[in-house]
Structure 1
């Protein structure tokens, strides 16, 4: 397993800050996401959102009592692989790191969450499969929308705005892909949209010709794909080469400029996706976050940089409010409190799902992922 550690030098000095001489304590945050492999672009985006939050919190200064403290981020690459994710989780537990932002993938989060639960580590994850919070781990909080919200809202938009009446569904057999596809199908059927084909692939596949040829015969109005950009891009390219001009629909897994890049389609990509959170460029906090992210990294944020940024901010706010780094106190505070982040408000129900999660529908223009409508 490849494990990367963002030490104080990386999290602070490497970002252009000087550590104050009287700093006596470090607050260590674990980070998990795919930093290598097909989903590395998303993992890097998550990492940079978290690092930006660390930079800003350290610049402001955080104290417990009169003692200055500094955040540092321990970076762990799970490669979107459940086995590697469990190893990364165990590494963080062995290091006695009390807080973790991540993982990104539901398939990684489900087994890794058990490791963290046994150790009492506070976990803030964007993993969207409903099973993630149905396990009842009191140490885990979801900082993004669930599949229920993402799949349902995409079906709603497809029926009401795109006037889709028939749809073919493909999923990648991951926990995330199956979950979001299942929720989409259930809501689509409730809305009177007919599911004319159900197919599956893997999150490692790149050739979808056989599946798409079969779907072509159904004359479906649209294809819904439960999976990630690493497959959605090539799938779009192959759809168009087969003469399939219908829209490709998906959840947050395809809400990335990586989808456009891999599709090799210059204009008119005709794809739509849902993502948890408000329309960042429509609210002041979101606009300022995008500006700071661009200034720091010379590129736009992808899908969940804002959520990982908010996750670090949520932890910092809980530590400040409780004047403690005791995970039990932090869990209690987050469970009962509220936090206003750049992507929305973080307040939790009894399962530790967000009480209210805004969902935004996006499309693609050029290489940009463009918000269309908040639902």
Structure 2
């Protein structure tokens, strides 16, 4: 019996030498990602998910240690279809899945209702794309974003239209979503302040395909430009139909329109679009060129808009985890206000409300099938 005990002790000692971390088994923690993966803007949602997935793969490959324990991250991807009701259901699922943080949602109209679910669970939510100012003005300590807001984007677009394009009259159309309306409202205020005349304001919806009635009315008003508040899935066809009906006005749009796919959706009319992104232009981001190469090598498709932002959002959650020395969501949340993270999009730190300390707005046009940077406005 004594010999058997000694043999067993020797085996355990040998195992401890061979596997020094055997007593500290890996912990797997989930990070949620939410965006539309079905519907008209699924390409934007998948682009964002790819960015988050790339970050998680890199972090796992390099090894993440929190509190002396090896931590493996697992992406928990969810589809909210851009629908507010579905967004709250998905948010509750992620809470039930015990995620430690969420990258999402992509749309303002889904981020705002979902944010209450995450607040009740004390889980940090970092939106990669929601620009409506209302998202971070609810008094929740769980809401963050890594893009500028429409209170910055609208004025930057209006200022560029007035000063660089010489726009004096503008018609405004929005898609009746929280994002589209929010951008249109902020643009309208800034346009009037800049001395522009707003000749009309119309609304459509985010599933519309026929804009001829609105475009025909606007043609009669003969504005210098039309601001379209919405996403590329409707903004592209809107610009295309405006061109077909002989409208001479420039089409202005926000980050929802400012994608790679809008060139396919608008056809030759893309050359008439001037749009903004609520962040630094990819080619101006500190890690932009390297990120593009990694993204295209991994996913074999062109980057759209939001992948760099979701990528950095994952790293920011991992950074908070390391600084908190814990995978407890409440402790990760407590570490978020002191974030000082240098990533692809630049240096990220947050205001007390969860907005970026130093935002930037980039203005683009499309020429000959290419997206061209026109200007960068630092906020």
TM-score by length of 2: 0.90
Which residue of structure 1 lines up, in the alignment, with residue 365 of structure 2? 363
Mapped to 1, the partners of 2:359 and 2:138 lie a distance apart of: 20
Deviations 1:84-103 (A, max 9, x none): 11110111111221211000
| C-alpha displacement of 1:65 | 2.9
Q: Secondary structure at the match of 2:116?
A: helix
Which residue of structure 2 lines up, in the alignment, with residue 227 of structure 1? 230
Q: 1:310 aligns with which of 309, 312, 321?
A: 312
Which residue of structure 1 lines up, in the alignment, with residue 105 of structure 2? 103
| C-alpha displacement of 1:148 | 0.6
Which residue of structure 2 lines up, in the alignment, with residue 154 of structure 1? 157
Q: Pairwise mapping of residues 150-189 of structure 1 onto structure 2 (< 5 A)?
A: 150-189=153-192
State whether structure 2 residue 139 is matched by structure 1 residue 136: yes
Q: State which structure, 1 or 2, has the greater radius of gyration over its C-alpha atoms.
A: 2
| C-alpha displacement of 1:264 | 2.6
Mapped to 2, the partners of 1:23 and 1:54 lie a distance apart of: 19
CA contact (8 A) 1:120 1:327 kept: yes
Which residue of structure 1 lines up, in the alignment, with residue 260 of structure 2? 257
Label 1:54 to 1:23 Cα distance change in 2 as closer, same or farther (>3 A).
Answer: farther
State whether structure 2 residue 101 is matched by structure 1 residue 94: no
Count of residue correspondences: 355
| C-alpha displacement of 1:351 | 1.1
Which residue of structure 1 lines up, in the alignment, with residue 211 of structure 2? 208
Which residue of structure 2 lines up, in the alignment, with residue 63 of structure 1? 65
Q: Secondary structure at the match of 1:352?
A: coil
Greater shift, 196-205 or 359-368, is seen at 359-368
| C-alpha displacement of 1:288 | 0.6
CA contact (8 A) 1:23 1:69 kept: no
Mapped to 2, the partners of 1:144 and 1:212 lie a distance apart of: 31
Greater shift, 31-40 or 267-276, is seen at 267-276
Structure 2, gaps ≥5 residues long: 1-20
TM-score by length of 1: 0.91
| C-alpha displacement of 1:284 | 4.3
Deviations 1:124-154 (A, max 9, x none): 0121111111111101111111111111110
State whether structure 2 residue 297 is matched by structure 1 residue 295: yes
Label 1:332 to 1:231 Cα distance change in 2 as closer, same or farther (>3 A).
Answer: same
CA contact (8 A) 1:209 1:238 kept: yes
Mapped to 1, the partners of 2:360 and 2:31 lie a distance apart of: 27
| C-alpha displacement of 1:369 | 2.6
CA contact (8 A) 2:145 2:354 kept: yes
Which residue of structure 1 lines up, in the alignment, with residue 12 of structure 2? none
Mapped to 1, the partners of 2:63 and 2:31 lie a distance apart of: 16
Mapped to 2, the partners of 1:23 and 1:365 lie a distance apart of: 54
CA contact (8 A) 1:257 1:367 kept: no
State whether structure 2 residue 273 is matched by structure 1 residue 271: yes
Greater shift, 318-327 or 224-233, is seen at 318-327
Mapped to 2, the partners of 1:279 and 1:360 lie a distance apart of: 6
List structure 1 runs of 4+ shifted beyond 4 angstroms. 20-23
State whether structure 2 residue 77 is matched by structure 1 residue 75: yes
Mapped to 1, the partners of 2:67 and 2:203 lie a distance apart of: 55
Mapped to 2, the partners of 1:81 and 1:366 lie a distance apart of: 34
